[in-house]
Structure formats: structure tokens, C-alpha cells
């Protein structure tokens, strides 16, 4: 075994957030894989300050393998497996040390705050909310003495690297600690608390930060760990409130968290279809804002809307920095509009609960990146905060991120709201504009008559979460701008049957939260009868065409674009939003519906795993949808901690299955007696015609012998999800608005051409795509080269690169030498 590379400690600090456990799990497992010793620090910085009070002070020499029973130069094969896979020094699991602070497993950890951990110590941490290693707000760490004690404790344990998962305060603390470190080491040396050898060896502290905060209040990253789970909780509550509000024709004022950041209020407003929101960084522009709010809500009531939802962030303020309180908003609605109004404060329900799929994937990817950042760190390199931009994990200098975050609060206090907004990511501003566009019936925003369009909206392929939200957004945008939104029911078949109808503002009001497709959808392509399709385009005088769907939508767009030479009716701007749970549209990293689907998968697998664990030694083979695309199986495996997974891209071979059986036998043989874990295998439905889910389950049952048994479960259409996830709803809004602007832009430029001779340029038939950190429009012509039309998927997929991570964190890489 190679020598220990680093000794890494991971801690969670500040307010807890869902996904912190997944971050700790990833740091522990990946750290071990990379040859590091990994420690957890209980109770945040407080644990760092207290250290191991009862433990005898040890002098640990870095990389001195003789001091460490686990790292002899020449381990036997079995030792190697146990060192890698089972426990650290087992401290987290040791029983009977007193009764102070309990580990969730029931083990006492009295007087010990910095604890060596191993692979199995973090098993099944994915599904747990909050943080299992504890968090605290440490006053001691804010003092120089506290940080001196923390430095001494780290050096005493031989730790040279830390990962801090917390909010802006915690990362500020990390930054202070990093800057101060050389002087702390110097002071410890001067007082003879540490040796000069230690002072030299620990002259530099490596720090990486991951942002765990439900408020999403950190600058220089799009999203923080726990924010989406909090949004799930908020949307669940508002979805529930909606039905009672509708029944009684009531108004509800909902208060959500967010002292300095309105992300939760804004995203909840967008995803839950609220009427009005109040956030800290953009106070209401109108003065007095009460008039504006009442006018907006009255407009809705006038057209027959029965319910009103207003969302207030806890840090909401007016333009003069006076707080806007939920109770006051309620009084205004009651007194001025005569509405029966109630206040609901969601409070700590927003923090808790099972992490959503994204809060398992994001912290896993970021935990791995944090370990890489530590291993690559040098005294010259800056400390990094691990960030994400659109779909790309990246590193940003911690100091800059902390400074920019502080600058937001300062800008707000100076009433410079434009500056405050400029520090938020671009999506924030787009969402705010988007919210206004879909929630306010403002009749002053209409375009001149000659620029208005008749916009046809169609859903294609299988239903996917977010399709209705996209249709709703397009409809409302159109109405606000004076365009005519026209529904085509039941896809191209419906168009040929003249199943076409105008949409209205109120008709789509509840569509945000509805799963499936309200317009109806099927897989019929327009080439079933292109001439008839063109004649319907002409008959209904479509000026623009908006497709929402998966591979079929993309193919339909391509067919229509290619037919422009034959049919002038297709010389109009056309755009497609990818929406499919399989996420198989080429070029784009993301399709609407795939987040809803991953959440459905995670929920089902949590239940299955619980059953598998209760039976102690059961392997569940779970079959997923996805057609010929392995997205759900691969990312699902990463989000559930599956030990094996099978995709159509890789197929299944006899040799591979043999290795999987060997791996499972080895893994189960290492479980503590009576404490074997339930384990998951995910298999995409189209991975192999021969090695079916049923076959694999029976094979494992036969081969498992006394070590494990197996069962199978097919998730089938449950993966299309019930209620769409907040991410799919919010992205539906964002993408639809961009698409509408795209159609408008191309329509206006086409108007410059003589009416009967208009030639729409190639780029006016496009798909909106996310590629890493960029959202843009890819002309459908350019997409064909990157499509595997036979297998209905893209040629190259971004999630391929996460396959090694699934194998690593599933334990396979460490146990079995991969070929």
C-alpha cells in the first residue's frame, strides 16, 4: 500500500442543511481511495477547538508508517481490503465510553471530537437529513485563543488538511484560520507546545470549502448544498396550501427563510406559481408597494382566480430598508382587498428532511472535488471553495467568494440594490424577470400589433415533469406581450385532427404543479403527412412553433426544418425545449423531467434499500427506464450509492457479471456479522436482451449462497414522477422564457422580408441547450452530427465521466483492481 498522502479532517458548521452527510460521505470514501487518512470533526469548529479532551496526547509523525497499525509497508491482501473498506480505527463505533454526546448509531463519543473514520462508518448516510457529525455555532472559534487550540489539536492529530462544509460564516471562519495559520504555528512553537519538526511539517494548512446552506446565499456559485431540498419542502407546503386556498378562495402569506438572500422566496414564487414575492436584494420598485401588490392581485381576482399566494423572505425589506413582515402583508390584503388571508411561517420545516436527488449528487461531486483540491494544494496555491456553474463543478478562490458574499449585504445596507443583484448569479436575475413575466397581468407590456405572433405550442414524446410548467410559462408570456398562445392537443396527430385551441391566462393557472402533459402527447412525427401538417400551419396562421419534448421533439424540429424548401409554412421560427426523463436529447446536458425522475428513483430506492437492509443481506436489482440512454441508471447509481449499474451504452457481458458476483461476495464477506448492508444494483431496461433483470436477480440468488440473497424491482412508469420537482418547474420557466424571446427575435427579423417570400434562416430552428456552464440555442442542423439516431441518444454524454466515481464510491475500485 502506498504511504498516506494526507490526513484530512472534514467538518460541518453553521446551520445544518440536507446533503451535508453526502458531502462527508464523499470526502471520507474518496479520501480513503486516494490513500489519505480521513477524520471527522464533531460539532463543527467547536469540536476543532475542544479536540480529543480525554485522549492521551500523541505525537504523530506524518507519513511515518510505523506509527500506524493500518499502514504497514507490505499489507496482506486481506489487510489491504480491511484497511480500505472496513473501518478507520473503529473509534466512531466504539461503545461504552460514557454518556455525553451520542453518535446516531447509539455509540457514545464523550470527550472525543476528532475521530478517524473508515469506509463503513459513513454507509447509508445519503438518505439522512441534517448532519450526522453535528454542527454548532462556535463562539470560541471566533477568538484567537480558540483558533490556537484548534491549530494545536489538528497538529497533535497529524492533520494537515481540512474540508469545511458550511455557510458564508463558516467559510469566513475557514478563511480567517487559513490566513492566521502561520502565526498560530509560530505561537505554538514559541510556547513549546509543538516541536520544531512539527512546526516545519505543519507550516501550511490546506483548506477546501464546500457550501452547505439552505439559503443559497454564497456568491460565486450557482447553488449551495441543501438549497434545493429546502425548496422541495417549501413547494410541498405551498402545493398543499394551494388546495385549501382554492377551496375557500383565500389568500395565504407564506414566510420562508432567507435573511440576506431571496433565492428561496424567488424560486418558490416561480415554482409554486405565487402571485407576489418579497426578497431582500430587490425591494418592491413601486412606491407605495402596497398599491402595486393589491393591483396585481386584484387583476387576478378580476379574471376569476380564486386563490392568492404571497411569499415573503424573512429578510424582505422595502426600498428604505424597513422590514416587510408577513403579518403586515396579511393586514394589507385583508383591509384593502377584503380577502380572507392567513399567514403560514414555514420555519424549520424547511431545513429538515430527506435530501432530494440533487442534494445527493451535488455534495458527492463537490466532496470528491474538495479532496482533489486538497491533494493538489501547495503553499502557493489559494484555498478553494468548490462551486458549481450551471452543470459544471469548479474551484473558486475562497477569499474572493467570501468577500463577494459580504459585499451583497453591504450593498443592500447602502441601498445599492443593482450592485447587490450584480453579485448574484445570472440565473437569479433571469428568474426574477421570469417571475414577473408569468405572475403579473400587466397590460402595458404588449408589443405593437404588427409584431405580435400566433404561437403554436405542442408536447411530444413521453410525458416528463415540467412540460406543463413550460406550456404555462409560454402561454403567459405570450398573453403579456400581446401574442396569441395556441395549444395543439395530442401532438401532430392532434394537429391533423384539428385539435387546436387558444389558451388563456387562467386556463393554465394550476399547471405549474401538474405532472404529465395537459396538452397530451404521443410519438407521431410530422413526416406522417408533411403536406397536411403544412396546410394546418397555414390554416391556423402560425407565426412561431414551440415544441416541448424529448427525442421526438428534436426529430420533428429537424424534419420541419428540412422541409422548409418544400413548404413555405415552415419558414417561421421554431424552437424546442428538451423534456424527457431519459435525458437523451443530443448536445444538451439536461432535459426537463430528468430531475423529477431522479427524485422518483431516489425515493423508491430509499424504500427498497430500507427493506433490503432490514433483511440484512439482500441485494436488490432495480430496473430503470431510460430507453437506450444510461443517464438515469448512471446518475441514479451515483445518487443512491448503488454498488453496480448497467447501461445500454456499456451493455452487459458474462465476464462483467462474473466480476460483479466476485465483488459482491467479497463485499458481503467483509460486513460485520449480523450487520450486513442491503445493497442496490441499477439496471437500465435496455442494457441487454439476454442478461435481463430477472436473469441477474436469479443468478445472484444462486451465487450468493449464505452471503446474500436477492430480489428485483422494476420502477417502470413511476419514474415519470408525480408532481414535478421544483428544479424542473423553475428550469421550465427559465427555458420557456428564453425560447419565447428567441421566437420573438427571429419573428421580428423575418418581418423585414416581403411577406410571401420569407426565408427563415437555419439558426431560426433551434434547441435550447445547457452545455456545462452555458445555456444557448443550438441550430437543429448542427445537432444531427452529434446524434445517434438509431439508438435515440447523443453521441457523447457528460455523465460518462461520472462512471468511475460510481464505481469508486460503490466500493468497487478499492476492492477489486479494475481492469
Q: Annotated catalytic residue: which of 68, 215, 359, 728?
A: 215
3-state secondary structure 10-60: EEEECCCCCCHHHHHHHHHHHHHHCCCEEEEECCHHHHHHHCCCCCCCCCC
Q: Which of 124, 176, 337, 784 binds ligand ATP (CB under 6 A)?
A: 176
Told to judge if 215 belongs to the known catalytic residues of this protein, a careful annotator would answer yes
Count the site residues for ligand ATP by CB under 6 A. 18
Q: Does 263 contact ligand ATP by CB under 6 A?
A: no
Site string for ligand ATP, 38-57 (x = CB under 6 A): -------x------------
The label of the residue with cell 430496473 reads 623
The pairing of strands 384-389 and 392-397 is antiparallel
CA angle 168, 171, 172 (to 5 degrees): 85
* Nine-digit cell string for 21: 452527510
Is 215 one of the annotated binding-site residues?
A: yes
Is 583 one of the annotated binding-site residues?
A: yes
Site string for ligand ATP, 88-127 (x = CB under 6 A): ----------------------------------------
Considering the complex, what minimum distance in angstroms separates the CB of residue 319 from ligand ATP? 25
* Nine-digit cell string for 812: 468497487
* Nearest Cα residue to 257 out of 320, 333, 326: 326
Identify whether the C-beta of residue 265 lies closer than 8 Å to the C-beta of residue 279.
yes
Q: Which of 213, 440, 536, 697 binds ligand ATP (CB under 6 A)?
A: 213
The label of the residue with cell 402595458 reads 444
Q: Which of 7, 8, 12, 15 binds ligand ATP (CB under 6 A)?
A: 15
Which residue number, 173 or 627, has a Cβ lying nearer to ligand ATP?
A: 173
3-state secondary structure 344-391: EECHHHHCCCCCCCHHHHHHHHHHHHHHHHHHHCCCCCCCEEEEEECC
- The residues pairing with 41 across neighbouring beta strands, listed in sequence order, are 11, 114
Is 581 one of the annotated binding-site residues?
A: yes
* Nine-digit cell string for 535: 396546410
Q: Does 406 contact ligand ATP by CB under 6 A?
A: no
Site string for ligand ATP, 121-140 (x = CB under 6 A): ----------------xx--
Q: Does 315 contact ligand ATP by CB under 6 A?
A: no
The label of the residue with cell 424491482 reads 713
Instruction: Order across the sheet with 544-549: list the strands.
Output: 500-502, 484-488, 454-460, 544-549, 574-578, 765-771, 774-779
CA angle 78, 84, 90 (to 5 degrees): 100
Is 786 one of the annotated binding-site residues?
A: no
Considering the complex, what minimum distance in angstroms separates the CB of residue 14 from ligand ATP? 2
Q: Does 466 contact ligand ATP by CB under 6 A?
A: no
State the CB neighbour count (10 A cutoff) for residue 643. Answer: 23
Q: Does 170 contact ligand ATP by CB under 6 A?
A: yes
Which residue number, 14 or 284, has a Cβ lying nearer to ligand ATP?
A: 14
In the three-class reduction of DSSP (H, G, I as helix; E, B as strand; rest coil), residue 8 is classed as: strand
Identify whether the C-beta of residue 558 lies closer than 8 Å to the C-beta of residue 587.
no
Considering the complex, what minimum distance in angstroms separates the CB of residue 145 from ligand ATP? 12
Q: Does 19 contact ligand ATP by CB under 6 A?
A: no
Considering the complex, what minimum distance in angstroms separates the CB of residue 366 from ligand ATP? 16
Q: Which of 173, 466, 526, 811 binds ligand ATP (CB under 6 A)?
A: 173
Considering the complex, what minimum distance in angstroms separates the CB of residue 478 from ligand ATP? 39
Which residue number, 174 or 604, has a Cβ lying nearer to ligand ATP?
A: 174
Q: Does 169 contact ligand ATP by CB under 6 A?
A: yes
* Nearest Cα residue to 625 out of 685, 695, 551: 685
- DSSP assignment letter at 202: T
* Nearest Cα residue to 9 out of 48, 35, 46, 43: 48
Cα torsion for 190, 191, 195, 198, to the nearest 10°?
A: -70
Residue 443, burial from CB neighbour count under 10 angstroms (0-12, 13-18, 19+): exposed
Identify whether the C-beta of residue 595 lies closer than 8 Å to the C-beta of residue 722.
no
- End-to-end Cα distance, the chain: 18
Is 2 one of the annotated binding-site residues?
A: no
Distance CA 52, CA 536 (A): 76
Which residue number, 408 or 670, has a Cβ lying nearer to ligand ATP?
A: 408
CA torsion sign, 630 to 633 to 638 to 639? Answer: positive
Which residue number, 152 or 213, has a Cβ lying nearer to ligand ATP?
A: 213
Which residue number, 170 or 588, has a Cβ lying nearer to ligand ATP?
A: 170
Which residue number, 46 or 671, has a Cβ lying nearer to ligand ATP?
A: 46
Q: Does 434 contact ligand ATP by CB under 6 A?
A: no
Site string for ligand ATP, 361-380 (x = CB under 6 A): --------------------
Which range of residues in 7-15, 89-97, 380-388, 791-799 is near ligand ATP by CB under 6 A? 7-15
Which residue number, 170 or 582, has a Cβ lying nearer to ligand ATP?
A: 170
Q: Which of 83, 156, 172, 490 binds ligand ATP (CB under 6 A)?
A: 172
Considering the complex, what minimum distance in angstroms separates the CB of residue 108 from ligand ATP? 25
Q: Does 209 contact ligand ATP by CB under 6 A?
A: no
Distance CA 37, CA 28 (A): 8
CA 557 to chain centre: 29
Q: DSSP string covering 706-733, please? A: TT-EEEEEE-GGGGG-SSPPHHHHHHHH
Which residue number, 166 or 724, has a Cβ lying nearer to ligand ATP?
A: 166
Identify whether the C-beta of residue 5 lies closer than 8 Å to the C-beta of residue 375.
yes
Which residue number, 215 or 552, has a Cβ lying nearer to ligand ATP?
A: 215
The catalytic residues are 215
Tell me the binding residues for ATP: 15, 137-138, 167-170
Indicate the annotated binding residues for Mg(2+).
Answer: 168
Residues placed in the known binding site for substrate: 213-215, 250, 257-259, 314, 342, 348-351
Binding residues: 15, 137-138, 167-170, 213-215, 250, 257-259, 314, 342, 348-351, 523, 580-584, 618, 625-627, 685, 711, 792
Q: Which residues bind ligand ATP (CB under 6 A)?
A: 13-15, 45, 137-138, 141-142, 166-170, 172-173, 176, 213, 215
Amino acid at each position: 500500500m502506498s504511504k498516506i498522502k494526507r490526513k484530512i479532517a472534514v467538518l460541518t458548521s453553521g446551520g445544518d442543511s440536507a446533503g451535508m452527510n453526502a458531502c462527508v460521505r464523499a470526502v471520507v470514501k474518496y479520501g480513503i481511495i486516494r490513500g489519505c487518512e480521513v477524520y471527522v470533526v464533531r460539532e463543527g469548529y467547536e469540536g476543532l477547538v475542544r479536540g480529543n479532551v480525554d485522549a492521551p496526547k500523541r505525537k504523530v509523525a506524518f507519513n511515518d508508517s510505523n506509527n500506524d497499525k493500518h499502514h504497514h509497508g507490505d499489507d496482506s491482501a486481506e489487510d489491504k481490503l480491511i484497511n480500505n473498506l472496513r473501518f478507520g480505527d473503529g473509534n466512531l463505533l466504539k461503545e461504552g465510553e460514557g454518556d455525553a454526546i451520542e453518535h446516531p448509531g447509539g455509540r457514545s463519543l464523550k470527550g472525543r471530537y476528532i475521530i478517524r473514520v473508515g469506509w463503513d462508518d459513513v454507509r447509508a448516510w445519503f438518505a439522512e437529513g441534517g448532519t450526522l457529525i453535528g454542527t454548532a455555532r462556535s463562539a470560541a472559534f471566533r477568538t484567537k485563543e480558540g483558533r490556537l487550540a484548534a491549530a494545536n489539536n489538528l497538529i497533535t492529530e497529524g492533520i494537515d488538511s481540512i474540508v469545511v462544509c458550511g455557510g458564508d460564516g463558516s467559510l469566513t471562519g475557514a478563511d480567517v484560520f487559513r490566513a492566521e495559520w502561520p502565526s498560530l504555528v509560530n505561537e505554538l512553537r514559541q510556547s513549546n507546545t509543538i516541536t520544531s519538526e512539527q512546526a516545519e511539517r505543519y507550516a501550511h494548512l490546506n483548506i477546501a470549502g464546500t457550501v452547505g446552506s439552505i439559503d443559497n446565499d454564497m456568491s460565486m456559485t450557482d447553488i449551495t448544498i441543501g438549497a434545493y431540498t429546502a425548496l422541495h419542502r417549501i413547494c410541498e407546503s405551498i402545493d398543499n396550501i394551494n388546495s385549501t386556498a382554492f377551496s375557500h378562495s383565500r389568500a395565504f402569506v407564506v414566510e420562508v427563510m432567507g435573511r440576506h438572500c431571496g433565492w428561496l422566496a424567488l424560486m418558490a414564487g416561480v415554482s409554486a406559481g405565487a402571485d407576489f414575492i418579497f426578497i431582500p436584494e430587490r425591494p418592491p420598485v413601486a412606491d407605495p408597494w402596497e398599491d402595486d401588490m393589491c393591483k396585481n392581485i386584484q387583476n387576478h381576482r378580476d379574471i376569476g382566480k380564486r386563490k392568492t399566494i404571497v411569499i415573503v423572505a424573512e429578510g424582505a425589506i422595502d426600498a428604505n430598508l424597513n422590514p416587510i413582515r408577513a403579518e403586515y402583508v396579511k393586514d394589507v390584503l385583508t383591509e384593502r382587498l377584503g380577502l380572507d388571508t392567513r399567514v403560514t411561517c414555514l420555519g424549520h420545516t424547511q431545513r429538515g428532511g430527506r435530501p432530494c436527488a440533487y442534494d445527493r449528487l451535488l455534495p458527492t461531486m463537490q466532496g470528491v472535488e474538495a479532496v482533489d483540491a486538497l491533494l493538489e494544494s501547495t503553499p502557493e496555491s489559494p484555498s478553494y471553495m468548490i462551486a458549481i456553474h450551471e452543470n459544471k463543478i469548479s474551484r473558486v478562490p475562497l477569499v474572493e467568494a467570501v468577500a463577494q458574499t459580504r459585499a451583497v449585504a453591504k450593498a443592500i445596507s447602502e441601498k445599492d440594490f443593482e450592485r447587490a443583484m450584480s453579485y448574484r448569479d445570472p440565473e437569479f436575475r433571469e428568474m426574477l424577470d421570469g417571475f414577473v413575466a408569468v405572475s403579473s397581468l400587466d397590460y402595458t407590456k404588449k408589443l405593437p400589433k404588427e409584431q405580435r405572433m400566433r404561437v403554436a405550442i405542442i408536447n411530444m414524446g413521453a410525458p416528463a415533469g415540467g412540460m406543463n410548467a413550460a406550456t404555462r410559462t409560454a402561454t403567459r408570456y405570450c398573453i403579456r406581450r400581446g401574442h396569441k398562445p395556441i395549444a395543439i392537443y395530442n401532438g401532430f396527430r392532434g394537429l391533423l385532427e384539428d385539435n387546436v385551441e387558444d389558451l388563456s391566462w387562467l386556463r393554465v393557472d394550476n399547471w405549474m404543479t401538474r405532472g404529465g402533459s395537459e396538452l397530451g402527447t404521443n410519438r407521431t412525427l410530422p413526416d406522417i403527412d408533411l403536406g397536411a401538417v403544412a396546410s394546418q400551419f397555414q390554416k391556423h396562421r402560425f407565426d412561431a412553433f414551440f415544441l416541448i419534448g424529448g427525442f421526438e421533439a428534436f426529430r420533428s424540429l429537424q424534419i420541419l426544418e428540412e422541409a422548409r424548401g418544400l413548404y413555405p409554412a415552415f419558414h417561421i421560427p421554431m424552437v424546442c425545449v428538451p423534456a424527457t426523463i431519459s435525458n437523451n436529447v443530443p448536445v444538451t446536458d439536461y432535459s426537463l423531467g430528468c430531475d423529477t425522475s431522479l427524485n422518483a428513483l431516489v425515493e423508491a430506492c430509499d424504500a427498497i434499500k430500507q427493506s433490503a437492509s432490514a433483511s440484512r443481506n439482500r441485494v436488490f436489482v432495480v430496473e430503470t427506464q431510460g430507453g437506450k440512454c444510461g443517464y438515469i441508471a448512471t446518475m441514479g447509481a451515483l445518487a443512491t450509492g448503488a454498488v453496480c449499474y448497467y447501461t445500454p451504452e456499456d451493455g452487459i457481458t458474462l465476464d462483467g457479471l462474473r466480476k460483479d458476483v466476485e465483488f459482491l461476495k467479497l463485499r458481503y464477506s467483509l460486513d460485520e456479522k449480523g450487520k450486513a448492508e442491503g445493497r442496490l444494483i441499477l439496471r437500465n431496461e435496455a442494457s441487454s436482451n439476454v442478461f435481463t433483470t430477472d436473469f441477474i436477480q436469479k443468478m445472484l440468488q444462486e451465487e450468493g449462497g449464505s452471503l446474500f440473497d436477492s430480489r428485483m424491482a422494476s420502477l417502470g412508469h413511476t419514474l415519470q414522477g408525480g408532481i414535478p420537482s421544483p428544479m424542473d418547474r423553475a428550469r421550465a420557466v427559465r427555458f420557456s422564457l428564453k425560447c419565447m424571446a428567441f421566437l420573438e427575435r427571429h419573428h421580428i427579423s423575418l418581418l423585414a422580408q416581403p411577406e410571401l417570400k420569407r426565408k427563415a434562416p437555419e439558426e431560426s430552428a433551434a434547441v435550447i441547450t445547457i452545455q456545462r456552464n452555458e445555456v444557448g440555442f443550438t441550430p437543429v442542423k448542427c445537432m444531427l452530427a452529434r446524434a445517434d439516431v438509431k439508438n435515440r441518444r447523443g453521441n457523447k454524454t457528460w455523465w460518462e465521466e461520472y462512471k468511475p466515481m460510481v464505481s469508486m464510491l460503490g466500493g468497487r475500485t478499492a476492492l477489486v483492481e479494475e481492469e
